Amino acid sequence: MATIDQSLLNKINGATGTSASGKDVNSADAIQDRFLKLFTTQLRAQDPLNPMDNSQMTAQMSQISTVTGLEKLNQSMASLTQAQMAAQSLTAAGLIGRSVLVADNGLTLKGGEVRGAVGLTQSADQLRIEVKDSKGSVVDSFDIAQPGSGLTYFNWDGKNAAGETLPDGEYSFSVSATKAGKAIEATALSYQQVRSVGIDGLTPNLALSNGRRVTLDTVVEVAA
């Protein structure tokens, strides 16, 4: 039984450049085209009494099929990524002017009240919130008893510990939570207005009213 001429395989696998049709000679389609043409040529010239070994042809075709499949998979993934980026960009653009809840400890007091939230990985016995002015001094503090896991919302009335109304402006807050006398993880979350949207890499980023930039995938909630 004859074998496939190794020189044909070398021509298939070792070619470089661009074919007359304009295809990249190393692309899966070009390799497959060359293989079929060269194999057909050798098939016509073979000795009918001593046919070629089909196992080599099968192995080569299997390799070509694998390369073709991977190339098509890569093309599909690239198209999917582009579609996802386009969808995310449209979603992000729709957030301009809206308030979003993100991991941030800023509080913008306006009209005598501001809303914030705390994220807990588990339920707590007690949650303490301390509000600070622009100088970092604590102006008010309050406790929330037995908050559950997930998001816990709060409203600050814009007054200090003495009950005096504070001026509108930028404040911050810190959070601490305990369970069975031990500290547990707690994340400060605040509402910030989206001023603009930018594209950096695969995920759109949002420019917030407090000057920070966050990626779209870090938005916890969009305010109604």
Give pLDDT tens digits for 78-125: 666 565 555 666 577 788 899 999 999 999 998 888 999 999 999 999
Q: Average of pLDDT values for 202-214? A: 86
**C-beta separation of 216 from 92 below 8 A:** yes
The b/e string for 106-118 (b: 16+ C-beta within 10 A; e otherwise) is bbbbeeeebebbb
Q: In the prediction, which pLDDT does 18 show?
A: 56
What does the alpha-carbon distance between residue 189 and residue 175 come to, in Å, rounded to a whole number?
10
Q: Which two tokens stand for residue 203?
A: 């995920």
Looking up tokens 């559950």 gives 148
Give pLDDT tens digits for 163-201: 999 999 999 999 999 999 999 999 999 999 999 888 776
Helix or strand (DSSP H, E) at 99? strand 99-103
Integer-rounded Cα Rg, in Å, for the chain is: 33
pLDDT higher than threshold 60 for residue 62 = yes
What does the alpha-carbon distance between residue 125 and residue 182 come to, in Å, rounded to a whole number?
10
Give pLDDT tens digits for 128-174: 999 999 999 999 999 999 999 999 999 999 999 999 999 999 999 99
Q: Average of pLDDT values for 54-60? A: 63
Q: In the prediction, which pLDDT does 129 show?
A: 97
Q: Which two tokens stand for residue 188?
A: 């400060």
Query: What pairing do the DSSP bridges indicate for beta strands 106-109 and 99-103?
Result: unpaired
Enumerate the β-bridge partners of residue 172.
106, 132
Q: In the prediction, which pLDDT does 82 show?
A: 60
The b/e string for 125-152 (b: 16+ C-beta within 10 A; e otherwise) is eebbbebbbeeeeebbeeebeebeeeeb
